[in-house]
Every structure is written in structure tokens, then in C-alpha cells.
């Protein structure tokens, strides 16, 4: 949970910090549309390079963003596996027959037991798990001992499947990185004002933009707060002998329940404290309010939005031409 950085604000003075939050929201929307309109892998790589350059301009550490991607590694690997398993077009890269016999099943069980006994000593558990899975696949495809076949299947991987998997993973990484950049470089109050200004046209259909903006900004604001509370609870549970990474499935379920119950209690308590604080400051829903901070649009905001629109237009034109 410590690696989740979406919703956190990192103080800084770079160009991205000085931009108007409205322009950053517009650019986020434009670049997300651009990422979904791109259909060519080299163009997607070019957009990824632009995003990485934006991180450098904004003074944001790439290592910090990479750590923030760890919680979505499971989603990325599921997407990668799904693509290479079900896309069967293009030149064939791998064509192996996996055979599980009554003899090599002992080797598989031995590998699984070795992984289970040693995973606590490995820093990168996810990478260690992937290497173990690859080792089992290599074992089943190369070691064919005599005996009755308990399971036999063909593993086929095609070029289009791998390319499409890498393409979709790159798109997801770009979208997550853009969202992370927004929250890292924008204060929650400024983000609230920016969302409120962007959603103002909804008033013509009788929708209160201020309420929606406040709900979104409060949700983003309390993501890191609740994660900090969860880490404190886990440390307190660990001091009492609870291990969230070991044990049987039944034990893990009980450990998760022991974490969720205090989290719900803390969430309700914080929401009640927040409501009381808003009432003491004379907050009245749907009433016109004055602002202490007024957003200011700068020339750099116009320039950056123009560049984003040019990128989107170029990607759409490229998709139409190709």
C-alpha cells in the first residue's frame, strides 16, 4: 500500500506546478483521448516518450512513478497473458507441447514448494513468482519422462499477440502515469476549483458542478490518508503476531477482515469529523460561495493545450491515413 501514489501531492516549483489546474485537466483528457485513438505501436511509443519528458520537465522522479505502478502489475500481467493466449495471428513465435506425467508432477510440486519456502527472502516477490511460472512451463515442455500423461496441451504464441499485449500495456501505463502526474503536481484545493470550473456548463441541465467537484476532490484527497491509516493498522496487527503475507487462505481472509473492520470505522469517523468541520465553517450545499484563491490562466497553459491538441490531431490523422 505504501507504493500507491495516486491522490498524493508532492510539493514542487517546476513548470507543471505553476500551470492552471484547469489546463492540466484539459490536457489530461486530451492525451487520454489521444492514447485511445492511436493504433500504431511506434506512435504509442512516441506518446510514452512525451509523457516521460513531461515527468522530467515537472521534476517528478521516474522511479517514484514506477513504484506507483506496482499495485497495477497484476492488471498489466493479466492483460498481457490474455492477449498472447487468445490472439492467434501473425508469425508463430512459440509452439510447445506441455505434458504433465505422473513423474514430472513431482518436479512441479518440488518447484512450487521451493518457491513457497523461499519467497519471503526475495525482495521482488512478484518477479520471483513470474520466474517460477516460467520455470514450470520450461520444465513441462522439455522434461518428458515416461509414464501416463495426466495432462497435455499446446502452448502457441504469435507475434501479433505479443505486439498487441505490449501495445495495450503501454497504453495503460501512459494513462496511469498521466493521472499520477496530475495529482502529484496539483493541490487538492486547486484541483477542486479546476473541476468546478470545468463542470460549470452542467448547470444548464440542473446539475450542481460544485457538489460533483467537491465529491471528486475529497475522494482523491483521502486516498493517501486512508492508505496511511491502513499501514498503521497493518503495523499494529504485525506487532501482535499477524502476518498478512503468510498462512492458509482461511487465515488470510480473517486477516483481511481484521484490517477492513477498523478501516470502515476510521472512514466513518473521518467523514463525520469532516462534516462537522464544514458545518462550523458555515458550509451550506447549493449556496453561492466566495473564493479565497482565484485561478489565473497563463500563456503557458494555452501553449501546452495547443501542443496537446496538435498531438491528438496528428494521431487521429495518422489513424485515418494508415
pLDDT in tens, 74-90: 777 878 888 887 787 87
Q: What is the pLDDT of residues 121-156, one digit of tens each?
A: 777 777 777 788 878 777 777 766 555 566 666 777
Q: Which runs of consecutive H residues, i.e. helices, occur in the chain?
A: 15-18, 21-37, 41-57, 62-68, 73-86, 104-118, 125-142, 159-185, 188-198, 209-239, 249-280, 299-321
Answer with the residue of higher pLDDT: 221 or 170.
170
CB-based contacts of 207, cutoff 8 Å, min separation 6? 199
- The per-residue pLDDT of the chain, averaged, comes to 78
Beta-bridge partner residues of 145: none
Asked if 83 and 161 touch (Cβ cutoff 8 Å), the reply is yes
| 19 pLDDT above the threshold of 80 | yes
CA dist 217 and 209 (Å) reads 12
Q: Which of the listed ranges 39-53, 136-150, 182-196 does the model predict with the highest average pLDDT?
A: 39-53
Burial label, 2 (beta-carbon count in 10 A; 0-12, 13-18, 19+): exposed
Label residue 5 by pLDDT band (50, 70, 90): low
CB atoms within 10 A of CB 160: 15
* Pairwise CA distance, residues 196 & 214, whole Å: 8
**Tell me, what's the pLDDT at 245?**
59
CA dihedral 189, 191, 193, 194 (to 10 degrees): 160
The cell for 187 is 493541490
pLDDT beyond 70 at 6: no
Amino acid at each position: 500500500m505504501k507504493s500507491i501514489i495516486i491522490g498524493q501531492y508532492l510539493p514542487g516549483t517546476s513548470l507543471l506546478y505553476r500551470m492552471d489546474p484547469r489546463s492540466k485537466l484539459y490536457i489530461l483528457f486530451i492525451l487520454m483521448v489521444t492514447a485511445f485513438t492511436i493504433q500504431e505501436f511506434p506512435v504509442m511509443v512516441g506518446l510514452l516518450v512525451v509523457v516521460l519528458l513531461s515527468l522530467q520537465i515537472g521534476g517528478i522522479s521516474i522511479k517514484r512513478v514506477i513504484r506507483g505502478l506496482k499495485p497495477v502489475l497484476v492488471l498489466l500481467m493479466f492483460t498481457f497473458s490474455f492477449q498472447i493466449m487468445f490472439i492467434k495471428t501473425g508469425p508463430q513465435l512459440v509452439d510447445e507441447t506441455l505434458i504433465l506425467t505422473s513423474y514430472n508432477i513431482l518436479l512441479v510440486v518440488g518447484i512450487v514448494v521451493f518457491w513457497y519456502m523461499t519467497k519471503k527472502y526475495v525482495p521482488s516477490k512478484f518477479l520471483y513468482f513470474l520466474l517460477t511460472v516460467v520455470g514450470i512451463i520450461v520444465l513441462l515442455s522439455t522434461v518428458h519422462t515416461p509414464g501416463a500423461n495426466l495432462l497435455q496441451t499446446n502452448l502457441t504464441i504469435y507475434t501479433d499477440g505479443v505486439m498487441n499485449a505490449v501495445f495495450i500495456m503501454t497504453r495503460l501505463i501512459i494513462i496511469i502515469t498521466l493521472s499520477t502526474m496530475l495529482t502529484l503536481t496539483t493541490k487538492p484545493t486547486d484541483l477542486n476549483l479546476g473541476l468546478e470550473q470545468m463542470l460549470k456548463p452542467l448547470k444548464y441541465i440542473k446539475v450542481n458542478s460544485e457538489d460533483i467537484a467537491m465529491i471528486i476532490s475529497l475522494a482523491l484527497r483521502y486516498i493517501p490518508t486512508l492508505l496511511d491509516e491502513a499501514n498503521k493498522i497493518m503495523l499494529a496487527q504485525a506487532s501482535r503476531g499477524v502476518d498478512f503475507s503468510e498462512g492458509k487462505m482461511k487465515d488470510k481472509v480473517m486477516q483481511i477482515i481484521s484490517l477492513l473492520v477498523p478501516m470502515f470505522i476510521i472512514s466513518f469517523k473521518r467523514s463525520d469529523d469532516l462534516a462537522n468541520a464544514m458545518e462550523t465553517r458555515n458550509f451550506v450545499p447549493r449556496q453561492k460561495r466566495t473564493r479565497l484563491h482565484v485561478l489565473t490562466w497563463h500563456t503557458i497553459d494555452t501553449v501546452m493545450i495547443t501542443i496537446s491538441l496538435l498531438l491528438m490531431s496528428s494521431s487521429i490523422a495518422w489513424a485515418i491515413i494508415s
